[in-house]
């Protein structure tokens, strides 16, 4: 193998389009010594997330793909065309063995450019309901990788023949969490149950409100660790309560210490919880502010006994669910077992091996 050989990754817009791909990169580097580069948006979160990795990053113009009429679609058509031109230039110069797409609207121009240049494409979807970018990319990809078995039904018969379920890649580092260290980070006694509340890097005003409304009752029953996000962060000095805008290196230790997790139902978060066997109370983003992907993700996890979904978004109902679960050790153990049964061990390694097989 020539060291000059390269593989291109593309995707972005959210961490969910980046972190699973980085788990694959980690496995790929242990199997192969070639060059890995990333094509993403000039203005996307992926540029910032990739800085610490040392992976060469090439930014391109990116236009949002909308399912509804908007005047912005006109402007974004030119951005997509610009992204396609930039991708053609980058890929023609690099001549990679393969392009791996993790989705997001920025991934569409590189995928089309790769197809035009005769470069093989593999695309991956984390959600149960494939996004628009994945549906477009699937027409140009040799393999469409899915995490949920239910995702296969969203593709036509011809494309479905190229669909393979290999699970959602999870970073190795996530499994290195230590419960005792996690408890010490937040000052929690070892005999206290831990409720971990995650609202994402930007936080969730809805989740924050529900937790703060019930904080007095919750802290009598457990120790609450609350990631509130940078926008809606408030200092908390209440006993049995620790809050921060965002958790980074601490998160793996806090997950190891958590008895129950309250969070949204983004695919990446759910697959990480499944891999660790963590019971969850899910508050999915409603269809009014999303394409409904979290609703289906949450429904599947609840149907399989790995989570409870909060449909009635009142603070009273959330409190009831949390207190009932924390008081029912048998139920928590059952949910832990069901969560692990949904996970797909070795997903990142399997995908890395597939990339090398198709790349060569």
pLDDT at position 68 is 55
Q: What is the pLDDT of residue 3?
A: 42
Residues 60-95 have pLDDT tens digits of 998 676 555 566 666 778 888 999 999 999 999 999
Look up residue 108 and give its two tokens. Answer: 């569409």
Asked if the model's pLDDT at residue 197 lies above 90, the reply is yes
CATH class as words, domain 6-168+345-359? alpha beta
The residues of the chain that CATH labels 3.40.50.2000 are: 6-168+345-359, 175-342
Provide the Cα torsion 291, 294, 300, 302; round to 10°: -140
Q: Partners of 35 in the beta sheet? A: 6
pTM flag (> 0.75): yes
The predicted-structure confidence for 201-226, as pLDDT tens digits, reads as follows: 677 899 999 999 999 999 999 999 99
**Model pLDDT for residues 132-145, shown as the tens digit of each residue:** 999 999 999 999 99
Region 297-319 average pLDDT: 92
Write the CATH number of the domain with boundaries 175-342.
3.40.50.2000
């Amino acid at each position: 193998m020539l060291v000059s050989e390269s593989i291109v990754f593309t995707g972005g817009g959210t961490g969910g389009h980046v972190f699973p791909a980085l788990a694959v990169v980690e496995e790929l580097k242990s199997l192969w010594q070639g060059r890995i580069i990333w094509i993403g948006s000039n203005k996307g979160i992926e540029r910032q997330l990739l800085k610490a990795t040392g992976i060469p990053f090439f930014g391109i113009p990116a236009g949002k793909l909308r399912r509804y009429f908007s005047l912005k679609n006109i402007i974004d058509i030119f951005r997509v065309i610009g992204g396609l031109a930039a991708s053609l230039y980058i890929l023609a110069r690099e001549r990679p063995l393969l392009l791996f797409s993790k989705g997001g609207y920025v991934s569409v121009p590189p995928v089309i450019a790769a197809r035009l240049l005769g470069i093989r494409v593999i695309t991956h979807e984390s959600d149960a309901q494939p996004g628009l970018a994945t549906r477009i990319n699937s027409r140009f990809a040799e393999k469409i990788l899915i995490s949920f078995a239910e995702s296969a039904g969203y593709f036509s018969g011809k494309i479905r023949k190229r669909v393979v379920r290999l699970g959602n890649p999870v970073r190795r580092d996530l499994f290195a969490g230590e419960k005792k260290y996690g408890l010490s980070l937040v000052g929690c006694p070892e005999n206290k149950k831990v409720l971990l509340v995650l609202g994402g890097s930007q936080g969730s005003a809805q989740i924050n409100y529900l937790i703060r409304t019930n904080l007095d009752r919750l802290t009598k029953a457990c120790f609450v660790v609350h990631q509130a996000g940078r926008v809606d962060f408030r200092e908390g000095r209440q006993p049995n309560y620790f809050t921060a805008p965002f958790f980074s290196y601490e998160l793996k230790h806090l997950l190891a210490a958590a008895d129950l997790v309250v969070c949204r139902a983004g695919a990446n978060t759910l697959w990480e919880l499944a891999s660790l066997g963590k019971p969850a109370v899910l508050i999915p983003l409603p269809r009014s502010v999303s394409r409904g992907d979290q609703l289906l993700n949450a429904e599947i996890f609840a149907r399989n006994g790995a989570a409870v979904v909060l449909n009635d978004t009142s603070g009273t109902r959330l409190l009831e669910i949390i207190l009932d679960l924390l008081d029912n050790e048998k139920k928590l153990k059952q949910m832990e077992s069901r969560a692990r049964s949904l996970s797909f061990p070795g997903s990142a390694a399997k995908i890395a091996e597939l990339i090398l097989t198709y790349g060569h």
